Each structure stands twice: as C-alpha cells, then as structure tokens.
Amino acid sequence: MKFDDAAVGKQARIESQALYKSDIDASWTPIQPLSRQFQAGRGQSSQVIRKQFPVRQSTAKTIHRCQGDTLDQVVVDLTSKRKEPHSHYVALSRVKTLSGLFILNLNTDKIHVSENVKCEMAELRSTRKLTLAVHQPYLHSDTCFHIGFLNVRSLHRHIDCIRKDQFITACDVNLFCESRTSAADRPEYYQLSDFSCVLYPDTSVNSNRSHYGLGLCL
C-alpha cells in the first residue's frame, strides 16, 4: 500500500526490507495480516480465530465514526433520510480550515437540534446565568495597581495577540513566562504601547528558543 504521507509506514518498510524486489516500489508499505483468538458461545467454550489486515478504509466513514477526528481535508456528504440531532455539527467541525471542507448534498431540512439541548441552553442563559468572576482591570479605579502574569508559551509567536488584549494592556506590569525568547531578539520587536520591555531569555541550553525565559513589561 502507498500512503499519501511518506512518513506513514516508515518503520514497517524498514523492518520488511527483505520483501522488496526489483519490481516492488520502495515507497509501498507491506500490510501483514493479524490474527486474534478469543472465546465465544455459551460458556465461552468455542475458540474463534479472526484474521484481518490492520487497515481502516479512510475514503469514507460515518459521521458517528469520525467523532474526535481532526482532518486537513474532508468531503462531507449530508444525504440523509434521518433527522439526527447535531450530526451536521459533528460532520462539519472535523476539518481544521474552511478551505479544506467540501460539502455535498446539504439538506437543510435535516439540520436538527435536540429539544433537551434547547431547554438546557435557555436555562443557562436565564435562571442559571452566573455573574462574571474574571477580574477586569480596565473597569477598576486608577488607585489599584495591577500586575499580570501569563504563561504565553512563546511570546515570539503570540506578541500580536497580546498587543490587542485589553486585559493585558490595562495592567501596570506584565510578566510573561515561557516566553521562548532568544538572546539575539531585539526588545523593540516585543514592544507594547506605553510599556518598556525587558527580556530574560533562558541561556542554560544551546537551543535558540528554549521552552523557558521571561518577558517583563512595565
């Protein structure tokens, strides 16, 4: 079998070098049958041996079977005679980007939301609605001094998002751990409006961008 991704089956190809002949493409991956033995019947007295190839057909699967999948591209065929609650949501939310989604036979009459879900959402929005417990520094008095501490897991990657976050920009001092900054970085790259930025990159390892480091804006 030849997979679209060359990394799939790489170890199997390495372990099966003896199978490759001059007329066999080296990019093909051998799929060996697997055997499983289990007991069945009343009293578990019968022995059953099942042999099958460990390959799952991926060109098509049901919506229920694809729950939990994250796919780069998917063609969704929504031809259905059933009005299954939330099945359209499951089908259309498996793909990473909108450009990777292709829809066939969308039957809008079959899009259905469970009545139990409607009732639950209505209660959450009314009788069980909670007050916001998140501290909002931009709504409080100037007499308060606000310090923000955030694990950013790469200040280098998320600096544009941080500049647009009103929670962060309303604080007087911000500290960003796991900044993944490098000693070669220019502090002005991380500049926030009305803040001075000081970087403390991790210099204990050879990696240019280790998982650690601290950014200080005040």
Instruction: Read off the pLDDT of residues 42-68 as tens digits, 9 standing for 90 and up.
Output: 788 888 998 888 876 666 788 888 888
Confidence of residue 101 (pLDDT cuts 50, 70, 90): very high
Q: What is the pLDDT of residue 103?
A: 92
Burial tier of 154 (Cβ tally within 10 Å: 0-12, 13-18, 19+)? middle
- Please state the rounded mean pLDDT for residues 105-134: 86
Contacts of 20 (CB under 8 A, 6+ apart): 26
Distance between CA atoms of 199 and 187, rounded to whole angstroms? 7
Helix (H) or strand (E) holding 15: helix 10-15
- Please state the rounded mean pLDDT for residues 193-198: 90
Structure tokens at 23: 């007329």
Contacts of 212 (CB under 8 A, 6+ apart): 177, 178, 179, 180, 202, 204
Q: Where are the domains of the chain?
A: 10-52, 59-130, 137-217
Residue 205 has pLDDT above 70, yes or no: no
Contacts of 22 (CB under 8 A, 6+ apart): none
Confidence of residue 83 (pLDDT cuts 50, 70, 90): confident
Distance between CA atoms of 171 and 149, rounded to whole angstroms? 10
Mean pLDDT of the chain: 86
DSSP-derived secondary structure letter, 71: B
Length of the chain as a residue count? 218
Q: What is the pLDDT of residue 115?
A: 92
- Cβ(76)–Cβ(105) below 8 Å: no
- Please state the rounded mean pLDDT for residues 169-182: 91
Looking at the whole model, is its pTM more than 0.85?
A: no
